[in-house]
Amino acid sequence: MVNAVALREKLIREAEPDLSWQEVAVLLESKDKELEEAFFMRAKAIRDKFIGKKAYFRGLVEMSNICAKNCLYCGIRADNAEPHRYKMSFQEVMDACQFAYERGYGSVVLQSGEISSVAFINEITDLLTAIQQKFDGRLRVTLSCGEQSEETYQRWYDAGAHRYLLRIETSDPEFYRAIHPNDRHHDFEERVNCLRLLRKVGYQVGSGIMIGLPGQNYAAVARDLMFLKEMDVDMVGMGPYIEHEETPLWERRDQLWPLRERLAAGIKAVAALRILMKDINIAAATALQAIDPKGREQALDVGANVIMPNLTPIEYRKDYSLYENKPCTDEDRGMCSVCLEGRVKSIGLEVARDQWGDSIHYHDRQKKS
């Protein structure tokens, strides 16, 4: 049994405390204000020491909502006939990158549904080559295009992508099967293997989870955080699960924690992970803002150091509807940019400009090996 008083004292006393998964579970679940205060104070101090009082911007480009998969939670799953399917043109993606570059973001995240056709692989390769040429390597590119072969990952790496995001979603294989169709396209081991391949190719590897899925409990989230630590990832994006009416998981909405609780757990998961993994990049997920207008600031205030302004053209935003209530569907990239800079400054962080903002963890790992 974890003693909450002793845990609070440990967080106050030790600059870099080691946490067991049981302690993390208590931190996620506890509503004790004194414990929470010590917990957040420690997480923030670790971020300030290892990363600094700053936030990196990554321009998020939702290139296409066409997806071959059918994750049971996701609004753009292949079997959902509702969203209008779109694909941004080559020029539209380049324009979004130009905007990021001019604003001094230093980095973009190119995201899409999962497709593995030769045409798609070639298009991404061409885009990466063009971005390298146009910005002369000054714009770091993160890809988030799902599970691919080692050869494809290598090709994209060689064409200029240096970071890759692939959320594991949950680290429990059985639970993974409960929130995905049971077929070879949705295989837990395959996904873990992709994370290994990305590492092998040389990417800065990002992963993450959803928090507050139906049937999930705090112990499961705590073990997920331990999994991210064991995988030694360089970057994490994780956020609350938000139900979507046009998905199979909607049926299980009566098992969900209230939205406020999912928000609180999402924020606490960021703080706990910051204590577990001191020098990685942790994003303040957009889904937090879908629950509370100040959700992303709260995450930045307890240890996150990355925020992703949405650069997707306004006409496509409503169609990239992974979950309900997604923020900023009526705001253009200029508005989001100014808005988020204000939000970052409002909690006393500096916006890091014209920097790649690579994961310190990644570079330390490279030095060690």
Binding site for ligand SF4 (CB under 6 A): 67, 69, 71, 74, 76-77, 113-114, 146
**R_g of the chain computed on alpha carbons:** 19
> Residue 340: which of ligand 5AD, ligand SF4, ligand FES, none does it interact with, CB under 5 to 8 A by kind?
ligand FES
Residue 330 Cβ vs ligand FES, minimum distance, rounded to whole Å: 9
Residues 244, 268, 333, 361: which binds ligand 5AD (CB under 6 A)? Answer: 244
Binding to ligand 5AD by CB under 6 A, coded x per residue (else -) over 281-320, reads ------x---------------------------------
Question: 208 vs 266, which CB is nearer to ligand SF4?
Answer: 208
Which of ligand SF4, ligand 5AD, ligand FES, none does residue 242 bind to, with CB < 5 to 8 Å depending on kind? ligand 5AD
From the list ligand 5AD, ligand SF4, ligand FES, none, pick the one residue 328 interacts with, judged by a Cβ distance below 5 to 8 Å according to partner type.
ligand FES
Q: Which stretch binds ligand 5AD (CB under 6 A): 198-206, 238-246, 307-315, 353-361?
A: 238-246
- Helix, strand and coil content of the chain, in percent to the nearest 5, comes to 50, 15, 40
Query: Closest separation between CB of residue 63 and ligand SF4, Å?
Result: 12
Q: What SS3 state is found at 344?
A: helix
Query: Which residue in 244, 294, 237, 235 sits closest to 264, CA to CA?
Result: 294
With CB under 6 A, what is the number of residues at the site for ligand 5AD? 12
Q: How far apart are CA 247 and CA 212, in angstroms?
A: 16
Quick one: which of 164, 227, 320, 323 contacts ligand 5AD (CB under 6 A)?
A: 323
Cβ closest to ligand FES, residue 110 vs residue 344: 344
DSSP state of 212: S
Residue with structure tokens 């190719």? 201
Select the residue whose beta carbon is closest to ligand 5AD and give its number.
323
Query: How far is residue 73 from each of residues 76, 110, 319, 357, measured CA to CA in Å?
Result: 9, 21, 16, 31
- State the alpha helices, DSSP H only, in the chain: 4-13, 21-29, 33-50, 90-102, 118-135, 150-158, 173-178, 188-201, 218-230, 259-276, 286-291, 295-301, 314-317, 333-346, 360-368
Choice from 103, 167, 274, 317 touching ligand 5AD (CB under 6 A): 167
Interface stretch with ligand 5AD, choices 47-55, 118-126, 153-161, 237-245 (CB under 6 A): 237-245
Q: Which does 287 bind (CB under 5 to 8 A by kind): ligand SF4, ligand FES, ligand 5AD, none?
A: ligand 5AD
User: In the complex, which residues of this chain contact ligand FES (CB under 6 A)?
Assistant: 328, 331, 335-336, 339-340
Per CB under 6 A, 179 contacts ligand 5AD: no
The residues, ordered by sequence, that sit 6+ positions from 293 with a Cβ below 8 Å of its Cβ are 327
Task: Tell me the per-residue interface mask from 62 to 81 with ligand 5AD, x by CB under 6 A, - otherwise.
Answer: -----------xx-------
| 273/311 with CB nearer ligand FES | 311
With 0-12 CB in 10 A as exposed, 13-18 as middle and 19+ as buried, what is 68?
middle
Strands 235-240 and 204-207, bridge-based pairing:
parallel
Cα separation values, 117 from 66, 79, 138, 152, 157, Å: 12, 18, 29, 11, 18
Would you tell me which residues interact with ligand 5AD (CB under 6 A)? 73-74, 167, 169, 210, 239, 241-242, 244, 287, 322-323
